[in-house]
């Protein structure tokens, strides 16, 4: 069943409502996200990042044995969830993939002092006319360099392990630890 195990349903569990989106059947498997408007549980804006991340946690916490506790280690679980979407492609899984990216960003915002940046703050996003959802980025304290964490989640679905969120997270922390403190003089 993939890299994470599904919990067995208890007899008292209610079946999930049929939220089938038939239009997705027309999208060929493996299709890369092309920028369609996302049907997210909260508006696509920085203020909604915590809610979008929590939605991701809520969806997978009850159905799997992964631990989504906003730790850097939990990004390994996010990788295993996103690995399940590789064959489907990021177009079919765009809503969940975007929320996975917001979850990954919230790991750093909540625990390591990073801050969010809107796509409008990233000149590269305008230069390449990329879909707005891919432009939400984070930056380390005292650093203006942006890491497009939501885009990284999409790349994880599209490219597999080579775009691991867990590896990327460890890199961000190593970079944060190696950055010298600003001179207080």
User: Model confidence at 51, in pLDDT bands (50, 70, 90)?
Assistant: very high
Binning pLDDT at 50, 70 and 90, where does residue 176 land? Answer: confident
Kindly indicate the confidence band of residue 13, based on its pLDDT and cuts at 50, 70 and 90. Answer: very low
Residue 140 has pLDDT above 50, yes or no: yes
Region of 18 on the Ramachandran plot (φ > 0 left; ψ -120 to 50 alpha; else beta): beta
Q: Is the pLDDT of residue 19 over 60?
A: no
Q: Is 101 exposed, middle or buried (0-12, 13-18, 19+ CB in 10 A)?
A: buried
% of the chain at pLDDT higher than 70:
83
Q: Which helix (H) or strand (E) covers residue 106, if one does?
A: helix 94-112
What is the helix (H) or strand (E) element at residue 171, kind and residue range?
helix 165-178
Question: What are the tens digits of pLDDT across the range 72-114?
Answer: 999 999 999 999 999 999 999 999 999 999 999 999 999 999 9
Q: Tell me, letter by letter, the H, E, C secondary structure of 121-167.
A: HCHHHHHCCCCHHHHCEEECCCCCCCECHHHHHHHHHHHHHHHCHHH
Are the beta carbons of 74 and 107 closer than 8 angstroms? yes
Determine the average pLDDT of the residues in 42-71.
92
Residues 6+ apart with CB under 8 A from 154: 33, 90, 94, 97, 98, 101, 134
Mean pLDDT of 131-135: 91
């Amino acid at each position: 069943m993939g890299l994470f195990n599904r919990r067995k349903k208890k007899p008292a569990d209610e079946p999930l409502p049929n939220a089938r989106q038939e239009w997705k059947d027309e999208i060929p498997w493996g299709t890369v996200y092309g920028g369609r408007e996302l049907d997210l549980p909260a508006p696509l804006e920085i203020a909604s990042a915590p809610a979008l991340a929590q939605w991701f946690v809520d969806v997978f916490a009850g159905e799997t044995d992964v631990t989504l506790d906003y730790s850097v280690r939990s990004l390994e679980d996010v990788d295993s969830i996103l690995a399940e979407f590789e064959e489907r492609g990021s177009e079919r899984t765009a809503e969940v993939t975007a929320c996975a990216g917001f979850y990954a960003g919230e790991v750093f915002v909540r625990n390591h002092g990073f801050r969010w940046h809107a796509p409008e703050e990233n000149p590269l996003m305008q230069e390449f006319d990329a879909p707005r959802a891919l432009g939400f980025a984070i930056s380390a304290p005292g650093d203006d360099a942006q890491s497009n964490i939501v885009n990284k989640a999409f790349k994880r679905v599209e490219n597999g392990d080579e775009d691991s969120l867990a590896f990327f997270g460890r890199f961000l922390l190593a970079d944060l630890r190696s950055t010298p403190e600003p001179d207080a003089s």
